[in-house]
């Protein structure tokens, strides 16, 4: 099929590359000229494992452009995957989406053959219905249909998740669902992937429900970890015990400093906003968000308990991205942690294996950027492990005792294995004898 994808971020680019890999002819469009220029040279502007290789393999069926006409006029299906970041009040900012939608419709006005417009961006319930009203208002209802196809990929595993989704959700008419089934046919044929055809509103809300539920698991285990710290129990054992119950499952039961990234914080706040403005007080979700906000400061509290005043003391912050295998710093817990350390007068040194350049643009003045993990640890009075990059799990236990003034490690991810903690003054989250 001829497919276009509007927006070449984590979702759009991965979708475009994966659909080309599955045999479709794909044109990806973005308003960011610099991104399109890089993509045309075969260089992905984001870091995702395997993305560059898959892009190279599918190059003959994949083009990139800033022109909507070039992207859309030949297409049977147009995916929209632009950002929907949070406004200050938690509501989703739909300005990119509205601009993309308007440009798509203006371009489709020059096309007589049917087009399915598929929204992949995470949007409030009713967005697709409003788009359909607008399509009819412009007299295009006979040729343009709408579907909602929410995306569930995880950053850092975007390519894998797109090629091996747990389910495909198709919101919209029977006809729209049939077209989406053809788009994903090579995947559906390969593996037994549930294809869930639902109405537009349920598809839109299901995406928020999925992220809110996962965020709830994280906040739950973090609160359990805090209780463990109070009573001397071990949250790793608790997670193992409850996670082996298939009704609960082991995923998202890693206690630590809370969730971050471009999705969970904004989607939980957006769902809270959607519920609030529909007249429903989603009390459980409000608690999930509040617990997560507090949890981000847990490492600094532990640090202050150990060191007292932090003014003038070198503290190493290891890992800046919100999780390993991504270069994304959006809503990374490292940022409030660093701000808090700076506010307390600490001399803050930071390191990240991938995101140092992005971090230099984002972090406040006064932060020292180490050239490697060792420089970060050198003469530090404490280290905070904020992102569990695999290289830190090897380097830190080996290097910290020799390099640091005091090998005090606050492990915000409970990631350093027990047998590697010997030379460290180790403090996890909810691990007895270490709190």
Residues that bind ligand NAD (CB under 6 A): 6-12, 29-32, 35, 81-84, 96, 99-100, 120-122, 151, 153, 155, 262-263
- 168: three-class secondary structure by DSSP: strand
Q: 57-77 burial by CB neighbour count: b if 16+ within 10 A, else e? A: ebeebbbbbeebeebbbebbb
- 411: three-class secondary structure by DSSP: strand
CA distances from 67 to 36, 63, 70, 107, 377 (A): 10, 11, 5, 10, 48
Within its chain, how far is the Cα of 212 from the centroid?
13
Task: To the nearest 10°, report the CA torsion of 242, 248, 254, 258.
Answer: -130
φ and ψ of 330, to 5 deg? -65, 125
CA angle (169 as vertex; 161, 214 as ends), nearest 5: 60
Please check whether residue 330 is in contact with residue 9, taking contact to mean a CB–CB distance below 8 angstroms. Answer: no
Within its chain, how far is the Cα of 398 from the centroid?
31
Please identify which of the residues 28, 228, 230, 263 carries the catalytic annotation: 263
Please check whether residue 299 is in contact with residue 384, taking contact to mean a CB–CB distance below 8 angstroms. Answer: yes
The token pair that represents 311 in the structure block: 């003014």
Residue 421: CB atoms within 10 A of its CB come to: 18
- The residue sitting closest to ligand NAD, measured at its beta carbon, is 9
End-to-end Cα distance, the chain: 57
Residue for token pair 């928020």: 208
Q: Which is nearer to ligand NAD, 83 or 165 (CB)?
A: 83
Pairing label, strands 144-148, 168-172: antiparallel
Query: Is residue 373 annotated as part of the catalytic site, yes or no?
Result: no
Q: Is 424 exposed, middle or buried (0-12, 13-18, 19+ CB in 10 A)?
A: buried
Q: Is 360 exposed, middle or buried (0-12, 13-18, 19+ CB in 10 A)?
A: exposed
| Interatomic CA distance for residues 94 and 168, integer angstroms | 24
Residues classed as catalytic: 263
């Amino acid at each position: 099929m001829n497919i276009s994808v509007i927006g070449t971020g984590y979702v759009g680019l991965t979708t475009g590359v994966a659909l080309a890999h599955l045999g479709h002819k794909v044109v990806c469009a973005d308003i960011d000229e610099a991104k399109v220029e890089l993509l045309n040279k075969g260089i992905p502007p984001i870091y995702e494992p395997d993305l560059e290789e898959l892009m190279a393999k599918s190059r003959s069926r994949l083009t990139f452009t800033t022109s909507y006409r070039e992207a859309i006029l030949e297409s049977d299906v147009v995916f929209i995957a632009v950002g929907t970041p949070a406004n200050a009040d938690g509501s989703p900012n739909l300005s990119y989406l509205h601009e993309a939608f308007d440009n798509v419709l203006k371009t489709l006005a020059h096309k007589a053959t049917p087009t399915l417009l598929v929204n992949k961006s995470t949007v409030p319930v009713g967005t697709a219905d409003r788009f359909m009203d607008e399509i009819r208002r412009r007299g295009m209802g006979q040729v343009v249909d709408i579907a909602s196809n929410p995306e569930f990929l995880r950053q850092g595993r975007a390519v894998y998740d797109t090629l091996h989704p747990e389910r495909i959700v198709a919101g919209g008419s029977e006809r729209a669902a049939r077209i989406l089934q053809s788009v994903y046919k090579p995947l559906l044929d390969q593996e037994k992937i549930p294809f869930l055809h639902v109405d537009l509103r349920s598809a839109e809300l299901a995406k928020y429900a999925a992220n809110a539920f996962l965020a709830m698991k994280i906040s739950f285990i973090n609160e359990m970890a805090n209780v463990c710290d109070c009573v001397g129990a071990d949250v790793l054992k608790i997670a193992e015990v409850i996670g082996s119950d298939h009704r609960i499952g082991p995923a998202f039961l890693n206690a630590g400093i809370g969730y971050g990234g471009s999705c969970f914080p904004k989607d939980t706040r957006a769902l809270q906003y959607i519920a609030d403005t529909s007249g429903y007080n989603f009390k459980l979700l409000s608690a999930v968000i509040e617990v997560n906000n507090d949890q981000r400061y847990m490492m600094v509290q532990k640090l202050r308990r150990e060191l007292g005043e932090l003014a003038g003391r070198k503290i190493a912050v290891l890992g800046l991205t919100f999780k390993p295998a991504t270069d994304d710093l959006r809503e990374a817990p490292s940022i409030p942690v660093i701000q808090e350390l700076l506010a307390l007068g600490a001399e803050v040194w930071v390191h990240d294996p991938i995101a140092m350049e992005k971090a230099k643009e984002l972090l406040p003045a006064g932060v020292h950027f180490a050239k490697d993990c060792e420089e970060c640890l050198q003469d530090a009075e404490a280290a905070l492990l904020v992102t569990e990059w695999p290289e830190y799990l090897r380097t830190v236990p080996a290097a910290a005792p020799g390099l640091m003034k005091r090998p005090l490690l606050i492990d915000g991810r409970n990631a350093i294995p027990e047998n590697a903690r010997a030379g460290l003054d180790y403090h996890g989250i909810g691990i007895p004898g270490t709190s």
